[in-house]
A = this chain, B = another copy of it.
């Protein structure tokens, strides 16, 4: 028997960013310092999409779970300009007991512009101490996991 991978599993969440004049530097491309910001916005939007509209703001204030970053690593492949929207593909690639890893691939006009890996830990905001990923979040993330 051949297990058919469902089509939905192949399509990762994408978040679209409007790159504008103010994002660009004198080299007339998006400033490097803006690109991690874009990637983080895409991850925040990924949570919002998957947690019923709750992004980091609601996770921290309403759900009592923060997910600060402990690592980011980005390879910049091609310049980004305002001539196309930036399409950020986001997927979780690792779920540990109290950590989660994300991949973000950002493309313009179908060209890979940067790819990044990000690791966050689950914490209790009041004490800023790590904790296991909440069960409801674990249940939502697990089926969305994909290899790096």
Q: Which A residues are closer than 8 A to B by beta carbons?
A: 18, 20-22, 24-29, 31-33, 36-37, 40-41, 44-45, 55-58, 60-61, 66, 68-76, 79, 81-83, 125, 128
Contact = CB atoms under 8 A, between A and B. Distances in A.
B25 A25 contact: yes
Given A73-B72, A74-B72, A22 B28 contact: no
Contacts of A26: 21, 24-26, 28, 57, 60-61
Given A33-B36, A41-B18, A70-B75, A57 B27 contact: no
Main secondary structure, interface of A, reads: mixed
Given A66-B27, A73-B73, A74-B72, A20 B36 contact: no
